[in-house]
Structure 1
Amino acid sequence: MKWTIVFGVLLMVYLNNASWLRDVPDGAVRLLAHRGVHQTYSKENLDRHEGCTADRIDPPQHAFLENTIASIHEAFAYGADIVEIDIHPTIDEKFAVFHDWKIDCRTNGTGKTRDHSLTYLQSLDIGFGYTSDGGKTYPFRGKGVGKLPSLTEILERFPKQKFLVNIKSNSISEAKLINQFLDDRPNEDLRRLWFYGGQKPTSRLLQLKFELRGFTRSSVKKCAIHYELIGWTGYVPKACHNTIVVIPEGYAPYFWGWPRLFTRRMQDVGTEIILVGQTEVHLDGIDSPKRVAELGKDYRGILWTDNIEQVGTKAKVN
């Protein structure tokens, strides 16, 4: 009798979370282009917190530089649904769209990005430091002058498209600046801008603007732990409601109901899923067209890619 009860319980749990018994959720796979169309780079021995990657790029296959108007336009043209960008406040209380904490490596300037005015930053050559051969040649030097955009310029140039905005600091005061910026923007921007990054400013911003979507390492971890504890019942914990969860591909099969049922459960509570690749240290893009096509058979969330020009058209077919 005891084993019969145990078997019955296990069978109930299995059937309650069997993805293959469910229909594929509505919608289609969406693509998030990390850094837009950009110069790819070697991640070997790259520390997680290292700021600049311009001095380790692969031999260039195109002329686009990350976080520029041209790069973003190209990413959307390849089929991106969302483009990830990076922001820093400037001393004149604007927001520069630029990845690095310092401008020394990527540009012909020096110092912290946020210690300069937007006008000065836009006078720099953002292609100055790119090299694929240890400094023997600099293929983009002189071609990036005036190419650093402001957040305002990007939002006005792309008035309907969605962006995932990376807050590069962990200063809570930055939440106030972004909140003030959004106060002067159309309400539509609150629906097409998602935020992630430093725990303090991101969490505070999401409190100030409850309509916004965003995530931090802490919020993703909390959702994952709570769901693993009680998700087998079919109940989705509050920590997973109206948010964004980022799931490394290698861990995805361990989520109850992955992929069809899990995706539907998250959809039902207003939560977006972003599936990423994973190496030992870094979260990476899913950059194989074959893998994107395979995932597209059952998965109906967002795929993070570092190579939208390779997977964009292929993913849109599925």
Structure 2
Amino acid sequence: MRFLKWLGFMLAATFLVLTFVNASWMADAPKGRAGLIAWGGGVHQEFTAQHTGSDSCAPAEIAPPVHRYIADTLPSIRMARQLGAAMIAVDVQPTSDGQIVAFPDTMLDCRTDGSGKVRDHTLAELQQLDHGYRLTADKGKSFPLRGKQAEPIPSLAQVIAAAKPKPLLFVFRSSDPRDAEALAAALKALGRDPVAEGDAFYAEKESGPVARIRELYPQSWAFSAQGGAACASAYKTLGWFGATPSVCTDRTLIMPLSGQWAYAGWPNKLLARMKAAGSHVVIGTTDHGFGGLDLPEQLGSIPRDFNGYIRVDDIWTVAPALFPDTDPRSNAEREQADKALARKRASQ
């Protein structure tokens, strides 16, 4: 009995010490503010089912459109910039003639009036396509965005010009490390230094393009969903003992939108530890893989002092909640967006 009392006392004392040592208020509030990453090629349509851009796909089923913007197009990138995105994520792929284009799928069949793999076509061929041709909101009865895009599938140079002065997050659509080499060559040809410009690179896995980018640009920010989850998992345990896991050094921690209380020192002390380790912190949803915010009220789950990045999958509705005074949308667009949000909330 005496041993159990002693053990209970020691456990309680240890808990109190660890809680005190890892208290967020023990660290200074971080400087700066959170930055929104407009994921998915800027402003884009919302898909009603999981759309992966795989090597075989049917016409892309979207929710009833509330705006005219299509992912990875110049108008969508410009609008994401105007909405207040700190960084714009674009999907990049090589063409058969050595160029780089922004396009969400590895295949053309899902969205365009073309067919086959993106990488098997030249830039000129790709820019003849209608990239809203197969987007449908009623299972193929109608195609509301067909013929509505005046600007073609953009080249890397066009993407950079449209996003300026915002940095870009280049999202690789394949696991081939040669895609990283092709992108690096294209950036060099355009005279763009991604480190100096604050650009970043992303893929699902640590191997492949992300690993190759780290070799080509050792000082760049390159991360993956796999690596971000590994860092978060390791820190969730070791962080309580004041340790920063090695898998987090010069890497990225993907912080889930929910359950943040389980991470030692959140937010201030955790952010200080990650900064000391040369690492970034990105908040996103993690219920079904790495995702982003798609409702304005989700911003309420993020501490005011957080100064990292927030992945946003619906920049059209989330950004105006954070920057209402600079909302560039028309009154009609706001009304349509509010109706779409009401439908989304009702379906959850």
Residue by residue over 1:210-238, the C-alpha shift from the partner in whole angstroms, topping out at 9 and shown as x without a partner, is 02111123422432343234322323233
Residues 250 and 210 (structure 1), Cα distance of their counterparts in 2 relative to 1, 3 Å cut? same
1:241 alignment partner, one of 249, 258, 280: 249
2:216 alignment partner, one of 208, 226, 229: 208
Query: Could you state the TM-score of these two structures normalised by the residue count of structure 2?
Result: 0.82
TM-fit CA distance, 1:91: 0.6
1:66 alignment partner, one of 43, 65, 71: 71
1:14-163 aligned within 5 A? 14-20=19-25, 22-35=27-40, 36-43=42-49, 46=50, 50=54, 55-144=60-149, 146-163=151-168
TM-fit CA distance, 1:183: 3.1
Residues 70 and 244 (structure 1), Cα distance of their counterparts in 2 relative to 1, 3 Å cut? same
- Secondary structure at 1:141's aligned position in 2? coil
Q: Say if 2:299 is the partner of 1:304.
A: no
Contact 2:93–2:103 under 8 Å retained in 1: yes
- Secondary structure at 1:148's aligned position in 2? coil
Residue by residue over 1:132-158, the C-alpha shift from the partner in whole angstroms, topping out at 9 and shown as x without a partner, is 011111111112364210112211333
Aligned length: 315
Comparing 295-304 with 18-27, greater Cα deviation is found at 18-27
Supply the RMSD in Å over aligned alpha carbons: 2.5
Cα distance in 2 for partners of 1:293, 1:228 equals 22
Q: Say if 2:21 is the partner of 1:13.
A: no
Residues 181 and 48 (structure 1), Cα distance of their counterparts in 2 relative to 1, 3 Å cut? closer
TM-fit CA distance, 1:185: 4.2
Query: Could you state the TM-score of these two structures normalised by the residue count of structure 1?
Result: 0.89
Q: Give structure 2 stretches of 5+ with no counterpart.
A: 1-5, 325-348
The amino acid across from 1:262 in the alignment is: L
Q: Give structure 1 stretches of 5+ with no counterpart.
A: none
Comparing 91-100 with 159-168, greater Cα deviation is found at 159-168
Task: Give 1:275's aligned residue.
Answer: 283
- Secondary structure at 2:143's aligned position in 1? coil
TM-fit CA distance, 1:20: 5.0
Task: Give 2:346's aligned residue.
Answer: none
TM-fit CA distance, 1:296: 4.4
- Secondary structure at 1:273's aligned position in 2? strand
Give % identity.
Answer: 29
Task: Give 1:295's aligned residue.
Answer: 302
- Secondary structure at 2:90's aligned position in 1? strand
The amino acid across from 1:129 in the alignment is: R
Contact 1:124–1:145 under 8 Å retained in 2: no
